Amino acid sequence: MPVWQQLFDSLKTENFAIVAVAEESGGADAARPWIAQANPSYPCLIDVDHRVAALYGMVNVPQCVWIDEAGHIVRPPETAGSTDHFRRMDPVTRTLSAEDQAARAGARTAYLDAVRDWVRTGRHALDADYARRKLPRITPDMALADANFRLGIWLRRNGRPDEATVYLAEASRLHPESWNIWRQAADKNETGLAAGPAFWDRVQALGDRPYYPPPDLPGL
Amino acid sequence: MAVVLTDSSEFTIAATNGLCVSPVDAEAVTGWTLKPEGMCRDDLCVPLTGDARRDGNVDIAAFWRTLGHPVVSDRPGDVWVLGTAAESRATALSGLEAPDFTLPDLAGVPHTLSAFRGNKVFLTTWASW
């Protein structure tokens, strides 16, 4: 989020808004420490039920959508500056090689530069046909997954965690590509991050497929 | 009583036999009105199957399935989710108009995406997990 604040500050004189949405079934309490630390001047919204992910077909965070002045999507959901370098992290020290660190930072800068370029010049906005082709395909299984997720999250928030597990697992089974669903369901480990051994197994199982698919933008 | 969860709301209403509810509650939850010809909204009426109408009440779970939307409930049948069909969502997206939503910030103040019209909007997601 400090990165989005820098982006926002650098575009203050433009007609530009950032709307940050926390996909956070733990609600405001879970999101508050991060928001307090970043102290953002743009709105940070709390999305307990992952409604935004469902509406836009998002499957991971951070994913962004670019919307023009008329309220039209000019870039459908795509990875917002994150990269897969973390998959090569040293498993013991949890560090990246200097080379990977530099590549990761470079990709983030390239993404933020592309956003600035779009805001100032309109470049990188996709034409309607191409944007439409790049929209995520919403399947009946995904819609059913979201309904199961909604029920699971409600049960978890209402003191019925054991029952919740059943519906959250079903949601993940129906929509296995959604890291949002899987990680939100798995977020109760010792660190509060859904990044335990099961997460790493799941990442490994991707094989050649990306965890953060790179957006089709210059330098990425 | 049953809890009914829709995409953006939560209702607690009287229900029998699954999700048979009064016409008033049915309209509040679904936005459709019970009429002799079926459930109606604007100029459109969807006929109800025989067992979806009982003693003046309407089974909104059965009706929702008739519309093609997903319905999920807990085992005891006291919490229900009336979801949105893939087709409806895909149709909404394919017009490229950014689907609108209203969500609270940390202080509980609601913000609506469409209120930012006139600006380029960078809609971004994140999470603590």
More confident residue, B89 or A94: B89
Show me where the domains of chain A are located. Answer: 2-133, 140-204
The predicted model gives A15-24 an average pLDDT of 96
Burial A178-197 (b: 16+ CB within 10 A, else e): bbbbbbbbbbeeeeeebbee
Number of folded domains that form chain B: 1
Residue range B74-89: mean pLDDT, rounded:
97
Using alpha carbons, list the distances in angstroms from residue A114 to A76, A131, B62, B99, B125. Answer: 15, 17, 48, 23, 18
Buried-state track B1-22, b at ≥16 Cβ within 10 A, e below 16: ebbbbbbeeebebebeeebbbe
Q: For the segment A37-90, what is each residue's pLDDT rounded down to a tens digit?
A: 888 999 999 999 999 999 999 999 999 999 999 999 999 999 999 999 999 988
Question: Does B85 contact chain A (CB < 8 Å)?
Answer: yes
At residue A94, the pLDDT reads: 84
Query: By CB neighbour count within 10 A (0-12 exposed, 13-18 middle, 19+ buried), where does A47 fall?
Result: buried
Question: Under 8 Å CB-to-CB from A99, ≥6 apart: which residues?
Answer: none
Residue B74 lies in a domain: yes
Q: Give B42: exposed, middle or buried? Use CB within 10 Å, 0-12, 13-18, 19+.
A: exposed
Contact at CB, A57 and B103, closer than 8 angstroms: no
Confidence of residue B112 (pLDDT cuts 50, 70, 90): very high
Task: Give the Å distances, CA to CA, from A14 to A112, B17, B92.
Answer: 15, 57, 29
Q: Which residue of A has its CA nearest to B124?
A: A64
In this structure, is residue B37 part of a structural domain?
Answer: yes
Nearest to A146 by CA among A20, A25, A19: A25
Give the distance from residue B19's alpha carbon to the nearest chain A alpha carbon, in angstroms: 16
Among B81, B117, B124, the residue with its CB nearest the CB of A147 is B81
More confident residue, B129 or A40: A40
Distance from CA of A95 to the nearest CA of B (A): 19
Question: Tell me: the pLDDT tens digits for A162-212?
Answer: 999 999 999 999 999 999 999 998 876 656 667 788 888 999 999 999 999
Question: How many Cα atoms occupy the beta-carbon half-sphere of B40 within 13 Å?
Answer: 9
| pLDDT computed for residue A174 by the predictor | 98
Please, how many CA atoms are within 13 Å of residue B103, restricted to the half-sphere of its CB? 28
What is the pLDDT, as a whole number, of residue A21?
97
Q: Above 70 in pLDDT, residue B122?
A: yes
**More confident: B64 or A94:** B64
pLDDT at position A192 is 64
Residues of A in contact with B75 (CB under 8 A): 163
Q: Give the pairing type, strands B110-112 and B102-104.
A: antiparallel
8 A C-beta contact, residue A18 and residue A4: yes
| Contact (CB<8Å) B125/A35 | no
| Residue A92, pLDDT score | 82
The CATH number of A2-133 is 3.40.30
Residues of chain A neighbouring B128 (CB-CB closer than 8 A): 22, 24, 26, 30-31, 33-34, 187, 192-193
ipTM reported for the complex surpasses 0.85: yes
Q: How far apart are CA A171 and CA A181, in angstroms?
A: 7
In a domain, B84, yes or no: yes
Residue with tokens 């200097």: A98
Domain carrying residue B65 = 2-88
CB of B1 within 8 Å of any CB in chain A? no
pLDDT at B82 (0 to 100): 98
pLDDT of amino acid A56? 97
Name the residue type at position B4: V
Do the domain assignments include residue B119? Answer: no
Mutate to test the interface with B, among A35, A146, A149, A174 (most CBs of B within 10 A): A146
CB-based contacts of A102, cutoff 8 Å, min separation 6: none
- Dist. CA A159–CA A34, nearest whole Å: 25
The beta-carbon neighbor of B98 closest among A33, A63, A73 is A73
Residues A101-142: pLDDT tens digits?
A: 999 999 999 999 999 999 999 999 999 999 999 999 999 999
Residue A50, token pair as written in the block = 């992952």
Q: State residue A17's pLDDT score.
A: 97
- Decide if B92 and A55 are in contact by the 8 Å CB cutoff: yes
